[in-house]
């Protein structure tokens, strides 16, 4: 039984889409466990560029099954748009896409409340994408959410939705002073529901049955460890579990059936929106990395904040996730750097920290300790053999692996699928 979880080791946007796509051909099922359509994966497949928001990357391969799990919040309109976009590109999802009947739904009122709440925060904005993800998870935890299975009974859905919409309209008026019109939301959602009806199933039963039969499953996370609702830089986090544990709860697969965890990290660090970022670069350095790395959101287009690699964050990610193998992406972005800083520790008010601060206010004022390493000043773009990497690049990778005491199972040197190095003898190589 081959079952691997792929999760981000930083603040998301680490390049998980390419990694999952690279592995997908070797797995029978690719299953998404958390997040919503704010989490875009950019994948280059057969010369075409795809931005997948809800549907797992495995859908691009005709023999693979793609699963959207219970832990995902589903905007029916966004899902229908994605299915139709794939169809125009010649990707047929029929018989291969499976949507959990227990996944919660995102409605137009979730998006409007998301925007209103973010505006009300003023200078304390979290940096939400305003796609309704957080409010949908709020309703889920408050036990007033509507789920994909509700779409299967139109009359019952209307009755439930009317009660919730009346509550949301009053909330928007009283809490945020805005009048919101959701009059067409119910019928529009039901219309979208009819278009996805054929994909709805009990995905927990599907995946457990597949694993019991010896099929292989690749579990695909969203965002990254430091955005996890429980273990990230709260409150500057997402609304779901973005760590490896989210694969079990978000897909209804027991942890005993998950055999390995693969973490993904850039050769540097990025984050989007507000929140503490100890290794953030000065503006000029950040802009060079941003431009070379094309660090703009796949869904929103927002520029990402850029910083040096933070090994304290990666060490924390190893502890929280149970990291068996690490992927380093975008190594080529550092090709022009004369020197590279690597964060190896934190101090807070002069005292070294052994653990990750729980308070965002404390984390915002830690002082990173850096090791300076020489850059390689040579192109690594598209390199496919580790022996062809410059010595300084190899030293950089070796330092990361030794600090974390983990294998570097894959090195990405460009967005294309074949711009990839797989060191021989690694656990990662055994999954291919």
- As annotated, the active-site residues are 13, 41
Residues 42 and 16: their CA atoms lie apart, in Å, by 9
- DSSP sequence for 332-376: GGGGG-SEEEEEEEEEETTEEPSS--S-HHHHTT-EEEEEEEE--
User: Do 272 and 262 contact (CB within 8 A), yes or no?
Assistant: no
Residues 137 and 180: their CA atoms lie apart, in Å, by 20
Please list the alpha-helical segments (H only) found in 153-253: 154-176, 185-196, 203-212, 245-251
The residue ranges of DSSP E strands in 274-424, in sequence order, are 305-307, 309-310, 325-329, 339-348, 351-352, 367-374, 407-412, 420-421
Residues 343 and 315: their CA atoms lie apart, in Å, by 11
Residues 31 and 73: their CA atoms lie apart, in Å, by 14
Residues 367 and 371: their CA atoms lie apart, in Å, by 13
Q: Which residues contact 112 (CB under 8 A, 6 or more apart)?
A: 172, 178, 180, 182
User: Do 276 and 11 contact (CB within 8 A), yes or no?
Assistant: no
Instruction: Work out the number of other CB atoms within 10 angstroms of the CB of residue 280.
Output: 18
User: Would you report the helix, strand and coil content of the chain in percent, each value rounded to 5?
Assistant: 40, 20, 40
Residues 407 and 328: their CA atoms lie apart, in Å, by 11
């Amino acid at each position: 039984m081959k079952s691997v979880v792929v999760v981000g080791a930083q603040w998301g946007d680490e390049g998980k889409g390419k990694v999952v796509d690279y592995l997908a051909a070797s797995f029978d099922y690719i299953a998404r466990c958390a997040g919503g359509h704010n989490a875009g994966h950019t994948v280059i497949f057969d010369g075409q560029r795809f931005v997948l928001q809800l549907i797992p990357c495995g859908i691009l391969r005709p023999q693979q099954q793609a699963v959207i799990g219970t832990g995902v919040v589903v905007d029916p309109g966004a899902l229908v748009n994605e299915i139709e976009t794939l169809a125009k590109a010649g990707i047929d999802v029929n018989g291969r896409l499976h949507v959990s009947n227990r996944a919660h739904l995102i409605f137009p009122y979730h998006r409007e409340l998301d925007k209103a709440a973010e505006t009300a925060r003023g200078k304390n904005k979290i940096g939400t994408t305003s796609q309704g993800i957080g409010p949908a998870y709020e309703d889920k935890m408050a036990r007033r959410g509507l789920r994909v299975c509700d779409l299967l009974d139109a009359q019952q859905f209307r009755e439930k939705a009317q009660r919730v919409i009346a509550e949301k309209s009053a909330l928007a008026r009283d809490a945020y002073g805005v009048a919101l019109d959701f009059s067409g939301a119910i019928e529009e959602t039901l219309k979208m529901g009819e278009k996805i009806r054929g994909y709805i199933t009990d995905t927990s039963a599907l995946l457990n049955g597949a694993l019991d039969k010896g099929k292989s499953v690749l579990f695909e996370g969203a965002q990254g460890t430091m955005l996890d609702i429980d273990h990230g830089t709260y409150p500057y986090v997402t609304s779901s579990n973005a760590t490896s544990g989210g694969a079990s709860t978000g897909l209804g697969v027991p942890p005993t059936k998950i055999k390995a965890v693969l973490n993904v990290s850039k050769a540097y660090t990025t984050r989007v929106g507000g929140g503490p970022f100890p290794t953030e670069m000065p503006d000029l350095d950040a802009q060079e990395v941003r431009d070379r790395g094309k660090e703009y959101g796949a869904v929103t287009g927002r520029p990402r904040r850029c910083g040096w690699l933070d090994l304290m964050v990666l060490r924390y990610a190893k502890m929280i996730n149970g990291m068996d193998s690490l992927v380093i992406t975008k190594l080529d972005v550092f090709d022009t750097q004369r020197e590279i800083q690597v964060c190896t520790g934190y101090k807070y008010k002069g005292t070294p920290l052994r653990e990750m601060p729980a308070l965002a206010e404390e984390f915002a004022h830690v002082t990173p300790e850096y090791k300076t390493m020489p850059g390689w000043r040579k192109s690594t773009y598209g390199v496919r053999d580790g022996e062809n990497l410059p010595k300084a690049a190899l030293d950089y990778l070796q330092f990361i692996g030794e600090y974390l005491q983990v294998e570097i199972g894959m090195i990405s040197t460009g967005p294309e699928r074949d711009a990839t190095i797989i060191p021989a003898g690694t656990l990662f190589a055994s999954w291919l």
